[in-house]
Amino acid sequence: MSVAEIGALHGRFVRQSDRFKSAWTFHQFATGAYKNFLGDPLPYSVDFQRIYERLKSVSATLSAGDMELAGIALKTNDTALDSAEKQLLVADQRITPPTVRRFFERLKRTDDTIIHHLIRFYFYAGATDGDRRDKLDFLFTRIGEDFSADRGEYWSRDSLEFRERVLALVSVLHVSSAAPDEVVKLIRAVRSMRDDMQRVQRFEELTERHLLRNARLFKHRIGGLYFHPDILLAIVELNVATKNTFAKMYVREEQRLLDDSSKLMEHGNAIARNFGDTNPELVEEIERFREAKQRFDELRAESNVKHDVVTRLKSTMTNILSQLDRGLDDGVSEVDIPVAFFDGEKVAEQFGRDEILLPHLTRLAASVGDDVRIAELRLEPWEVAAFEKLFGRAEPEAEEDNEELWTLYVRAAAVRVKLDEEATIIATSRAASVRPEPELLAKAKQSLDCAKELDELFGDFLHEAVYYSNPKILHQLYRSRFRLLRGFSGLWLIYDRQG
């Protein structure tokens, strides 16, 4: 065997070792994603130990100079890795780009070597298009950015250092060749998008001007040139600018929504004028709310908020909403309740028979198509639509409008109903000087814990919102989250008082 052939064998061994590391790293990542985010077992079984043992034997065989035997073993291992990659890619189909982002955001900061191996896995498997382009886009940005706590924003890492990393990573790909003037043209296009992103002044501009959608379409349409090192550097700079712009808009939007939630105080007179004649109890309740709000603000200024003051404030807000609902109900005529949109069996199949929220999910599902029940349960339109989408009765409204999002809306609505009902029962028992049953308190604790978990999920989704093309989803996430938190605080105050 010639020296060149021996060198080629050694090269195959090095590449195969790297290929194995990338597949093993993806397996570890998939294990965490399926366990913590998808809640399902891995849909494959790969004997990584056997592949590893064969790699070690190849190393020993090469060292001993038996090149023919080493070549046979390398061929066998290539076949095994081909099979492993196919199975891993099937599992990857269920790991959406938002799931990848949530996985790494929860880890905060990881060793970049892990991300390098994940990128190489997609490269070795030849999986770089569609959703996988979005995943690679996130992974490259992850290793190409740093966060400055002093400035409160992200910045792109040193171009020369990052370019060397990119060159090493894309070396396993056959990067599309292009004339220098074409590369320059594409880089200018990316930087123009970056400049547009940095000039955004209103959150709505991101969608009105299709900035996010156009950037994503560009990354997909340039094909293999996406992986040209110089173009990729410019794309990472665009992504970093997008994150900074969104973070700035996010703070403004959050403050606006918080301000809106306090406008009940401002509109008290208007509510009383419009409903007071037919509902004098509402006028009295608004006056009680004003007194409670004033007392709450005074104590908050002194950093001395009392439990009973918060309880009173929450109670008056709930009573006002109830009085308003009464005013609306007076004009509703009796109608026949239609056949339930979904039966309990289908709901149990979708969410699992051991689901603690199953009774409430079944009740919510039965309200779909029945405006009276929907009003009684005070469901949001997108929560009703989520049931329809989960059961294939309606189509998604955007790319990010997916099953994870629908399930979050539905479970949050079910928990919210459960929280409100348990708060009412416990409060009524206390008013009647009857101590609630331990079983009821245990269920309340369970509801509070479930609400905390869902609140964390809402936080994860809101952090991903920089990638959303539909602005309605951001508003829906905020509103559903705030309603869940209000229900949580209401029950917590009563549960904590029960002691």
b (16+ CB within 10 A) / e for 198-237: eebeebebbbeeebbbebbebbeebeebbbbbbbbbbbbb
Q: How far is it between the farthest Cα atoms of the chain? A: 101
pLDDT score, position 331: 38
Question: Which ranges in 356-402 belong to alpha helices (H)?
Answer: 358-367, 371-377, 381-390
Contact 494, 427 (CB under 8 A): yes
Closest by CA to 314, choosing from 303, 322, 324, is: 322
Tell me how crowded residue 474 is: count the other CB atoms within 10 A of its CB: 21
pLDDT score, position 340: 44
User: What are the boundaries of each domain within the chain?
Assistant: 1-35+45-95+110-115, 128-239, 262-331, 335-499
- Measured N-to-C along each axis, helices 131-143 and 159-170 cross at an angle, to the nearest 10 degrees, of 140
Q: What is the mean pLDDT of residues 406-434?
A: 85
How many residues in total does the chain contain?
499
Contact 99, 58 (CB under 8 A): no
Q: Would you place residue 260 in the very low, low, confident or very high pLDDT band (cuts 50, 70, 90)? A: very low
More confident residue, 34 or 209: 34
More confident residue, 420 or 309: 420
Q: What is the mean pLDDT of residues 306-327?
A: 56
Q: Which tens digit of pLDDT belongs to each residue from 246-259?
A: 778 766 655 554 45
Please tell me the least confidently modeled range out of 132-141, 243-252, 420-429: 243-252
Euclidean distance between CA atoms 67 and 44, whole angstroms: 33
Euclidean distance between CA atoms 61 and 57, whole angstroms: 6
- DSSP character for 146? E
Q: Would you place residue 203 in the very low, low, confident or very high pLDDT band (cuts 50, 70, 90)? A: low
What are the Cα distances from residue 257, in Å, to 113, 252, 265, 360, 453?
A: 40, 9, 15, 29, 22
Euclidean distance between CA atoms 457 and 481, whole angstroms: 10
Q: Does an H or E element contain 303, and which?
A: none
What are the Cα distances from residue 128, in Å, to 215, 217, 227, 261, 414?
A: 17, 14, 10, 44, 39
Determine the 3-state secondary structure of 317 from DSSP: helix
Contact 467, 212 (CB under 8 A): yes
Contact 321, 424 (CB under 8 A): no
Tell me how crowded residue 286 is: count the other CB atoms within 10 A of its CB: 22
Closest by CA to 479, choosing from 380, 364, 361, 365, is: 380
Q: Which tens digit of pLDDT belongs to each residue from 50-98?
A: 999 999 998 888 887 788 888 898 999 999 999 999 999 999 999 999 8
Instruction: Tell me, yes or no, if the pTM score tops 0.75.
Output: no
What average pLDDT does the structure give for the chain? 80
Q: Is residue 268 predicted with pLDDT exceeding 70?
A: no
- DSSP character for 353? T
Q: Is residue 305 predicted with pLDDT exceeding 50?
A: no
Euclidean distance between CA atoms 103 and 30, whole angstroms: 10
What are the Cα distances from residue 487, in Å, to 248, 307, 315, 372, 406?
A: 29, 16, 11, 21, 20
**What are the helix and strand counts (H, E) for the chain?**
22, 2
